[in-house]
Structure formats: C-alpha cells, structure tokens
Structure 1
Amino acid sequence: MKNLISVIVVIAALAFGALKYANSFVELDENANAKWSQVLNQYKRRADLVPNLVETVKGYAAHEQKVFEDVTNARSKSMQVSVDASSLSDEAKIKEFMAAQNSLGSALGRLMAVSENYPELKANQNFLSLQSQLEGTENRISVARRDYIDAVKEYNVAIRSFPGKFIVSIFYPEMKLKQGIEVSDEEMKNPKVSFDK
C-alpha cells in the first residue's frame, strides 16, 4: 500500500511537471506577441510625431518640397502595412512591414539632415522638442525590436528543441515559428542629402 501511494505521488508529480512545461509554450507565445505589440506601439508613436515634425521644418525650409513629400509618402505607406500577432510566422508579411518602416526611417533621416542647414530652425523650441521626442522614439523602437528578437528566439528554440517539438505538435499544432526582424542594407546606409538643383 505504501509503495502504491509512492508510485501515485511520483506519477502525479510527473504529470504536473509535464503540464507546467506544456503550458510554458503558451507563455512564450504570448510574450513574443506582447513584445511585437510594443514594437508596433513605438512605430505608431513615431508615425504620430512625423506630421508635427514635417510642419515645423516646412516653415523654415519651404523649398525642400521633395524631402517633405518623401517623408509624408513613407509615413502613409508605413501606416498601411500592418502585422498582427497572427501574422508573425509569415516571413513575407514581416519583410513588407519592415521595408515600409525602414523607408520611413530613411526619409526621416533625410529630413533631419536637411534641418541641420537651417540655423534658426535648430534654435526653435518646437523643433528641438520634436527632435528630442523623435530621437527618444527611435531609441524605444530599438529597444522594443531587441526585446522582440529575444522573445522570438526563446520561443523558436523552445518549439524546435526536444522535447518541446513533440509537445507542441501534440498540444499546440497551431504554433509555428515566428519571424525575427532583419536589418536591411537600406537601413544600414546613412541618409544622403543634396542641395544640387
């Protein structure tokens, strides 16, 4: 009788441990989804700041119309492409989203470079505030992307390794590998500004 109770206790402990381990995949999935939401939140914050920044710079640099159009178009495109948590395993969708965000980042870089040529703009309090907010947003985007990359790595390793691969295939067949964020060649380039006509 004593041995039977010991066996039941051991089996119950193993079953509890297995269930806890199986549920950890849900936590990893939700963590990666939450990190992606934070990435989207920071991109949205940047997109919301762009119109104010453009209008402020426009007042000083009226003849730089192409730069303003590029920023406005890039912002518009970045707002049209969205990726929700259910699309995080779709590589093409992630690449399209990141291309739109990279285009906006590049256009903003050109706008900031143009602004450097206007001394009275650089002293304008509204511009300085917007520039500071935009810089802070870019830093937040970087941190959010890093956190998402770490969460995706942890999630992908868990569902690809043993015994996680088998547990996921049995209990969570809908779980797929999530796509990370890659840095494009365009994103690595410094913005170029030319005042040649």
Structure 2
Amino acid sequence: MSIKGHLFLLAFIVVAVYVVVIYNNLVQLKNNVAKAWANIDVLLMQRHDELPNLVETCKQYMLYEQQTLLKVTQARAAVSDAREHASIDELGPAEQQLRNGLGDLFAVAEKYPDLKANRTFRNLQARISRLEDAIADRREFYNDCVNSLNVRIDQFPDRFIASLFKFKPGKLLHFREAKRTMPELRVLLG
C-alpha cells in the first residue's frame, strides 16, 4: 500500500473515531436529559399521591371552601396528565395552576385554627413543602441537562453528527415568571 493509501486510511480512521466520540457524547447527554426527567417524574408522583390526603384532611375542616379544594384537585389532574405524557409544554402551566391552588389552600387554612393544629395536616404540609423544594432542585438539574444537550447539538462540528443521527434539542421546563414562587408554607401555617 502506498503512502497516500496509508494516509487516506489513517484519515478515515481518525474521522470515524471522531464521529463515534461525538455520537457517544450526544447519546450520553440525551440520556442525562431522560434521567433528569425521570427524577422529576418520581417527585411529581410522590406529590400526586400526597395531595388527596391533604384535600381529605382539609375537607373535614373547610366546609365552605369547596372551590379552593376543587382547584387543587383539578390542578393535580392536569399535572398528572402532563406528567404521564411527558409533556414539558403542558407541565409548566399545570404546575403553575397547582402551585397557585396550593398557595390558596394554605392561605385559606389560616382561617381554620383547628386545621392548622391538626397533626396530619401539619405533616402533609411539611411533606409537600419538602417535595416542592426537591422538584425545584430537580427542575434546575433537568434544565442544566437540556441546556448541555442543546449547546452540543448547536456547536460545530457536533451539529452535523446530531443532524445525521436526528438528535433533537430538549425543551426547558419553565414556570411563568409572575407566579413562579409558591408562598413559604412554613410561614403561612405558623
């Protein structure tokens, strides 16, 4: 084999190895996004399972606040639907609706000293508050993973490999700025 043949073979091997390395990095980033979503999903499911207990506990005390309880129940269903379909576009607004409903619920709970003193209610409130904090942390991690994937997909020469193998950019999970924060539950409930 001639020197040109050796150089051509060497160049081909270098390019092939480079393509494989880029491809494997993109696969790893894509799987990191999926893993981060799965972590959020676990927390959403845990909170989903706790909310009926909270609503039932509140029903015993809040005889005239059925609309507030209904808002939480409907929002829970919307989050569940978005979660089951892994729809980032639907999850943001549904989460906002649920956070607003929970904020209203805990604000209304201020009118019911017996409810605030109820041990089950306090435990559920603390559990949901911890889950909210964990969801916020996982959402940040998810968005970091999506951002890493998206940057690599947009960078040269990774863009060509990503296009060749049909890698799609991920969607960031956003909550609207105006209503992003949930009231501090520990402050609301004393």
**Residue aligned with 2:30, SS:** helix
Asked whether the 8 Å contact 2:95–2:175 carries over to 1, the reply is: no
**Counterpart check, 1:181 vs 2:182:** no
**Residue aligned with 2:28, SS:** helix
Q: Name the structure 2 match of 1:156.
A: 150
Q: Name the structure 1 match of 2:40.
A: 39
Following superposition, the deviation at residue 166 of structure 1 comes to 0.9
Q: Name the structure 2 match of 1:71.
A: 72
Asked whether the 8 Å contact 2:23–2:161 carries over to 1, the reply is: yes
State the identity %: 33
Cα gap change, 1:155 to 1:83, in 2 (>3 Å): farther
Asked whether the 8 Å contact 2:96–2:180 carries over to 1, the reply is: no
Following superposition, the deviation at residue 79 of structure 1 comes to 1.8
Question: Where does 1:55-66 land on structure 2 (aligned, <5 Å)?
Answer: 55-66=56-67
Unaligned runs of 5+ in 1: 86-92, 192-197
Q: Name the structure 1 match of 2:137.
A: 143
Asked whether the 8 Å contact 1:43–1:101 carries over to 2, the reply is: no
Cα gap change, 1:83 to 1:154, in 2 (>3 Å): farther
- How far, CA to CA, are the matches of 1:178 and 1:94 in structure 2? 9
TM-score with structure 2 length normalisation? 0.82
- Please identify, of 112-121 and 47-56, the stretch whose mean Cα deviation from structure 2 is larger: 112-121
**One-letter identity of the residue aligned with 1:49:** E
Asked whether the 8 Å contact 2:19–2:161 carries over to 1, the reply is: no
- How far, CA to CA, are the matches of 2:114 and 2:84 in structure 1? 40
Asked whether the 8 Å contact 1:83–1:94 carries over to 2, the reply is: no
> How much is the aligned-residue C-alpha RMSD, in angstroms?
2.5
Cα offsets for 1:163-194 (capped at 9, x unmatched): 11011122x12x11111022214533767xxx
**Residue aligned with 2:60, SS:** helix
- How far, CA to CA, are the matches of 1:83 and 1:159 in structure 2? 27
Cα offsets for 1:36-64 (capped at 9, x unmatched): 12122222221111110111122122211
Cα offsets for 1:49-96 (capped at 9, x unmatched): 1110111122122211111111112112222234656xxxxxxx5322
Q: Name the structure 2 match of 1:108.
A: 102
- Please identify, of 64-73 and 143-152, the stretch whose mean Cα deviation from structure 2 is larger: 64-73
TM-score with structure 1 length normalisation? 0.79
Unaligned runs of 5+ in 2: 184-190
Q: Name the structure 1 match of 2:186.
A: none
Asked whether the 8 Å contact 1:152–1:178 carries over to 2, the reply is: yes
**One-letter identity of the residue aligned with 2:69:** F
Following superposition, the deviation at residue 114 of structure 1 comes to 1.2
Following superposition, the deviation at residue 125 of structure 1 comes to 1.3
